Amino acid sequence: MTDPDQREGLPPVPTKATRTYEAVYIFDSALEDAAINEKLDRFHGLLSAAGDISVEHWGRRQLAYTIKKRENGYYAIARFDLANVNVLPEYERALKLDDSVLRYLISLHERELGAPPMSEEELARRKANDDDDDEE
Amino acid sequence: MRRQRKSDPLAEARIRFVDYKDDRLLSRFIGETGKLLPSRLTGVTARHQRQIAKAIKKARYLALIPYTKGSQG
């Protein structure tokens, strides 16, 4: 598909348009909730994001395999819009340096319906293409 | 004679985009050892299979689903 928002893994194309990013953090589950919120505020302060940063807390859950000898982690997911992508390296550096972040993943947010929202006509066309995919 | 195509379980669930954070959904598409299942077994469309493959790789990195299951755990 040619939707530019789906080009995950590739560096974002420099453009003036804002892009929505999604970051998943796995914190050390031994950390207090207050400390986690404080760290999130510090990381997000580096972003100077356009608009609000929405944070979804999953809380503590078991890891599927051990990371840094930990069995559990505290999951938090943040979504933010950036107009200026130059702030990302500094932000990512802060994440890397913080030992209480067991793991993180920053990716372009993939929307349920693509962006901008598709018209009915476009949806119908896509549906036709989907069906074509299967022909052998 | 051509075999009947299985119906796409994702299309039936009205999922347009596979989310890598939905580990319960993704676990339906990995086998007993943690490997990706071929779409001929699950019946998903080629388009959805590509999305699932990417989503599973991200979910593995985030320790939501295991890289391998079984012997070593």
Please give the backbone phi and psi of residue A4, each rounded to the nearest 5 degrees, phi first: -65, -25
CB contacts of A8 in chain B (<8 Å) are: 54
Contact (CB<8Å) B17/A112:
yes
Option in A63, A105, A111 nearest B17 (CB) = A111
Give the tokens for residue A58. Answer: 């999953």
- pLDDT tens string A73-98: 999 999 999 888 889 999 999 999 99
Rounded CA-CA distance A112/A126 in Å is 14
- pLDDT tens string B6-65: 777 776 677 778 899 999 999 999 999 999 999 999 989 888 899 999 999 999 999 999
**Would the pTM count as exceeding 0.80?**
no
Which residues contact residue A131 at a Cβ distance below 8 angstroms, ignoring those fewer than 6 apart?
none
Beta bridge partners of A20: A81
Buried b or exposed e, range A74-102, using 16+ CB within 10 angstroms = bbbbbebbbeeeeebeebeeebeebeebb
Contact (CB<8Å) A73/B63:
yes
Option in B17, B64, B67 nearest A110 (CB) = B17
